Chain A
Amino acid sequence: MKTTLHRRKVVEILLENRKDLLVVAGLGSTAWDITAAGDAPLNFPLWGAMGNAAMFGLGLALAQPRRRVLVLTGDGEMLMGMGSLATIGVQKPRNLSVVVIDNERYGETGMQATHTAAGVDLAKVAQGCGFRITRQVRSAAQLGTLRAAIHRPAGPLFAQVKVIAEKIPLVLPPRDGGLLKARFRKALLGAQADLD
């Protein structure tokens, strides 16, 4: 089945009524996607460390077991850190979701095909690594249930959302790493952020 999903709409729906969700976005298009949905202090968009987004989510989820943590990243970024799916599968944090926005392309470097274009199934990889919930999403009808699942403590959850490969305008978050870190900690930890 061919996908009909547009990435910006998918991310907008997943972040709708996000409550106290903590969001990490991987380098590239997903960082622009979460910013298009509304820049927020509890977003941590990565501008580097390609392949490490899911691990940022793991460390955050283990440090904040009462909060829900969502990692949104691309297929190219996830492929670079596939071992982290095994690492997460060992820890099994219930409050962590990893959602790959899969356009089967390296969007920032000229839309070259990724491994998923040749059929590599990241959801099956995550299943084999021990994620409790894994799914592939190709239709808008599945997005509501995915959003609800992200807010339930029944993870770790992995979803591979197939989206149309399209060139869309950049919506850039702040790019000062120190600022992104400090505002996230202040919003999450309050005064304690300066005392730790």
Chain B
Amino acid sequence: MKGTANDAWPEAIYRTLKGAGVRQVGYVPDAGHKRLIELCLADRELRSVVLSTEEEGIGLLAGAWLGGARGALLMQSSGVGNCINALGTVRECRFPLLMLVTMRGQKGEFNPWQVPMGQATPAVLQSMGVVVHEADSAEAIAPAVDAAARLAFGSYQAVAVLISQAVIGIKSFQDQASR
């Protein structure tokens, strides 16, 4: 896979976030977002905030919006479950929220413990009022992020882009550890 166009999607997300005026990025470290997190950390104009749990990112970005700053929240699908109650506040206050979620528990999952939350992720998000954009190919990701950012900040919506496990392509524990 290395060196192919398939590897370029994290750079494309990064450029899209910059173009959308994002100034704060909250993240819980994740193999699927590894490259994007590196790009964010290397950018001195972005404040990248490592979180101890994904739920913290909901408060971080709501506070950022109160202060006039746009943000994005990076996580794996398992982290969506950690955010549920906080999403209620996002909905009640109509805070814009841009979530980029790398999916597990989908196509080719090797860890059975990832499957329940991964399979429930779109339904859980939608039940809390979050608009879901699913990106099933590398080429679809940046346009989905761009559309999500416009919807989030232009219309004060919570929007999640779900990046398919087929794109991330982690095949085994060994593969994950080697990244």
Stretch of B2-10, B36-44, B59-67, B138-146 lying at the A interface: B59-67
18 extra A-B contacts, CB within 8 A, seeds A59-B59, A59-B65, A181-B95: A48-B85, A49-B59, A49-B62, A49-B89, A58-B63, A59-B24, A59-B61, A60-B64, A61-B63, A62-B24, A62-B67, A91-B49, A177-B89, A181-B93, A184-B66, A188-B66, A188-B67, A193-B68
A24 to B60, CA, bound (A): 12
Q: Given contacts A49-B85, A62-B47, A86-B52, is CB(A55)–CB(B63) below 8 Å?
A: yes
Q: Give residues of chain A (159-196) contacting chain B, Cβ–Cβ below 8 Å.
A: 177-178, 180-181, 184-185, 188-189, 192-193, 196
Main secondary structure of the interface of B (DSSP, over half): helix
- Interface presence of B33 (CB below 8 A): no
Q: Within the complex, which residue of B51, B64, B66, B70 is in contact with A87, where a contact is CB–CB below 8 Å?
A: B51
- Interface presence of B92 (CB below 8 A): yes
A192 to B55, CA, bound (A): 28
Q: Within the complex, which residue of A49, A64, A86, A180 is in contact with B86, where a contact is CB–CB below 8 Å?
A: A49
Residues of B contacting A188 in the complex (Cβ-Cβ under 8 angstroms): 66-68
Asked if A52 and B58 make an inter-chain contact with CB atoms under 8 angstroms apart, the answer reads: yes
Residues of chain B whose beta carbon lies under 8 Å from any beta carbon of chain A: 23-24, 47, 49-53, 55-71, 85-86, 88-89, 92-95, 153
A183 to B67, CA, bound (A): 12
Asked if B64 and A51 make an inter-chain contact with CB atoms under 8 angstroms apart, the answer reads: no
Q: Within the complex, which residue of B57, B85, B86, B94 is in contact with A178, where a contact is CB–CB below 8 Å?
A: B94
Q: Within the complex, which residue of A44, A48, A62, A178 is in contact with B88, where a contact is CB–CB below 8 Å?
A: A48
Residues of A contacting B62 in the complex (Cβ-Cβ under 8 angstroms): 49, 56, 59
Residues of A contacting B24 in the complex (Cβ-Cβ under 8 angstroms): 59, 62-63
